[in-house]
Amino acid sequence: MYQEEAHHAFGERILARAFATGAASPADLRERAQDYLALAHEMVTTLCDLFADIDEDAAAWASDATARMPGWFRAPRP
């Protein structure tokens, strides 16, 4: 788990630097990331039997994946 937390923190630092220098923008990354988020949801749905085998709710897991995304990732509400 420590390694995953370290990777997450590294990614946050790289993104913060890219946003600060203008090398990337939250809006552009948000748009590009939607396909990956959809893929993650599709993968979880496909594996829902495996989630059930380990007493996990696949729908809740997929929802958590979205909820844990940084604020800039979630599309602004119209």
Does pLDDT of 47 surpass 60? yes
Structural domain boundaries enclosing 58:
25-78
Specify the number of domains making up the chain: 1
Does pLDDT of 17 surpass 60? yes
In a domain, 11, yes or no: no
Q: Cβ neighbours of residue 48 under 8 Å, at least 6 residues apart? A: 58, 59
Q: What is the mean pLDDT of residues 6-14?
A: 92
Task: Count the helix, strand and coil residues of the chain and give each as a percent rounded to the nearest 5.
Answer: 75, 0, 25
DSSP assignment letter at 16 = H
In a domain, 41, yes or no: yes
Q: Which two tokens stand for residue 14?
A: 């790289």
Does pLDDT of 44 surpass 90? no
Matching residue, tokens 């552009």: 28
In a domain, 9, yes or no: no
